[in-house]
Chain A
């Protein structure tokens, strides 16, 4: 579904973070990218959604090359993005945040789909509240729901568990699994938190110094895989 080949990308100053990265994400799966800080997880996410330019290699979405397209065109093609730190529109209401996610996409009926609000009841409850006044966990749910409002085919999640209490992490993980199982959405998630990966991911790709060192590793039993944890996460 998502095919990344020989991807090179970095920052405008010239520093190359990714250099020759390969990754495949099958349709309808949740793939977690695990790795230490600074190994290129966020750069990978930002490059796939188009906020960072590629300096080499290709990104294909269902066979269609997207690496030369601007971010808004990639979004229209079905790439949804939830950035690290959530970046909800803080001065907007919860409902406005969701509406932006919806109306930014062409050809969608502007009304927020009811099933989205059923999935995240807290957002329905706080619809008229300013997004900036929500807790971290609620903002994370809002950021995910905002991306889902645009009905993406591929959802990119950058450290969705960061700074969120464990019970909420479990809750979000359960919902993600439910969405993927019912809609066939594909998810690529950069994460360091095992509680998030454990319950949701189908497989794991380990990122190390800008390369995917191993992919397709089964997510079950990753906690007891001492060798890989030591190698890629220094645990």
Chain B
């Protein structure tokens, strides 16, 4: 049971990060290497707000907003000028990630920081004593993911967004402002990553490498699941978070990472376009 909960915990947070990446890639064909740094911004905003005396819950909201705003700025200042040049976007967003990470180091220092747990103690879940904060993280991240998927697949705004992803030119000739959609999605994706970082900050050591630690499993999830549908990445995230937690039960964290990456490489070799590809026409 604890394994299921641990997996769900990782799954739900990773899903928030991946969702932003997938929508940004689907919409703008941009592989956002700076996505991990929005997690960083969210987590460090919590550090800043709580150490200034603010509550964690306020910090959670501010962290998401600051990350969303940072995303909007990155879109306006960098991404919008180059999104027709695929390789350049990888380099440019990687550059942005270095700048953001170094800025965090300059302000907060290179060592890990901790955030006080706003919800200490454990609760009994199906016979297992499990930290209350972790249960909250699962609940909020999972709930938000479900809300986002519902919005994407059953709201009018979601339909417009999917239309732009499906055929950008056609959508614009029908009257959709694709540029505004880009900005909003990039900002929303960054805000989600910021929310993920802020939400889990009390459970981890908040350090400048946090972003990379999430970015790699996120990309692996996407590679595994494929980018052609929005359901693929969910399976990818499930596979990555499940196998990571399963192997972590026996081995050290470093060994786990190595094995998960090797497994992912193997699967990607067998299904180069994602595990869902074979079922599509």
Q: Does A153 contact B (CB under 8 A)?
A: no
Q: Mind listing 7 A-B residue pairs with CB under 8 Å?
A: A71-B169, A72-B175, A90-B166, A92-B166, A99-B159, A103-B159, A104-B160
- CA A76 to CA B177, docked complex, whole Å: 10
Residue B100 lies at the interface, judged by CB distance under 8 Å to chain A: no
Q: Which residues of B contact A75 (CB under 8 A)?
A: 172-175
Q: Report B147-197 residues with CB < 8 Å from chain A CB.
A: 156, 159-160, 162-163, 166-167, 169-179
Q: How large is the interface on A (under 10, 10 to 19, 20 to 34, 35 or more residues)?
A: 20 to 34
Which residues on A sit within 8 Å (CB–CB) of B163?
A: 89, 92, 100, 104
Cβ–Cβ contact B156 & A50, under 8 A: no
Residues from chain A with a CB closer than 8 A to the CB of B174 are: 72, 75, 81, 100-101, 104-105, 146-147, 150
The proximity string for A residues 51-82 relative to B, scoring 1 for CB distances below 8 Å and 0 otherwise, is 10000000000000000001110111001010
The answer to whether residues A83 and B170 also contact, given A72-B178, A103-B156 and a CB cut-off of 8 A, is: yes
**Given the complex, which residues of B lie within 8 Å of A37, measured CB to CB?**
none
Q: How far is the CA of A99 from the CA of B167 in the complex (A)?
A: 15
* Residues B214-272 near A (CB distance < 8 A): none
Provide the residues of chain A in CB contact with B160, threshold 8 Å: 100, 103-104
Residues from chain B with Cβ under 8 Å of A106 in the complex? 175
* Closest-CB distance, B26 to chain A (whole angstroms): 12
Chain A residues contacting B173 (CB-CB under 8 Å) are: 49-51, 71-72, 74-75, 79, 81, 83
Closest CB-CB distance, B163 to chain A, in whole Å?
5
B176 neighbours in A (Cβ, 8 Å): 72, 104
Min CB distance A128 to B, Å, is 14
Which A residues touch B159, using CB under 8 A?
92, 96, 99-100, 103
A101 → chain B closest CB, angstroms: 6
CA distance A99 to B159 in the complex (A): 9
Which B residues lie at the A interface, using CB under 8 A? 156, 159-160, 162-163, 166-167, 169-179
Check A110 for interface membership: any CB of B closer than 8 A: yes
Q: How far is the CA of A9 from the CA of B179 in the complex (A)?
A: 23
Give 5 nearest A-B pairs by CB, closest first. A75-B175, A104-B175, A104-B174, A71-B172, A81-B173
- The smallest C-beta distance from B185 to any residue of chain A, in angstroms, reads 16
A193 at the interface (CB under 8 A from B): no
Interchain nearest-CB distance for A98 vs B (Å): 11
- Out of A71, A74, A89, A103, which one reaches B167, CB within 8 Å? A89
A82-140 contacts to B, CB under 8 A, are 83, 87, 89-92, 96, 99-101, 103-106, 110
The docked-state distance in angstroms from the alpha carbon of A90 to that of B228 is: 13
Given contacts A49-B173, A50-B172, A79-B173, 11 further A-B contacts (CB under 8 A): A51-B173, A70-B177, A71-B172, A89-B162, A89-B167, A99-B156, A99-B159, A103-B159, A104-B174, A104-B175, A104-B176
With both beta carbons as reference points, the residue of chain B lying nearest to A103 in the complex is identified as B156
CB-CB under 8 A from A96, the residues of chain B are: 159
Contacts of A100 in B (CB 8 A): 159-160, 163, 171, 174
Interface centre among A91, A96, A146 (most CB of B within 10 A): A91
Interface-centre pick from B156, B171, B175 (highest chain A CB count, 10 A): B175
Verify B169–A51 contact, CB threshold 8 A: yes
Residue of B nearest to A108 (CB): B175
Contacts of A49 on B, CB cut-off 8 Å?
173
Cα of A112 to Cα of B162 in the assembled complex, Å: 19
| Cβ-defined contact, A89 with B172, below 8 A | no
Q: Are B175 and A110 in contact (CB under 8 A)?
A: no
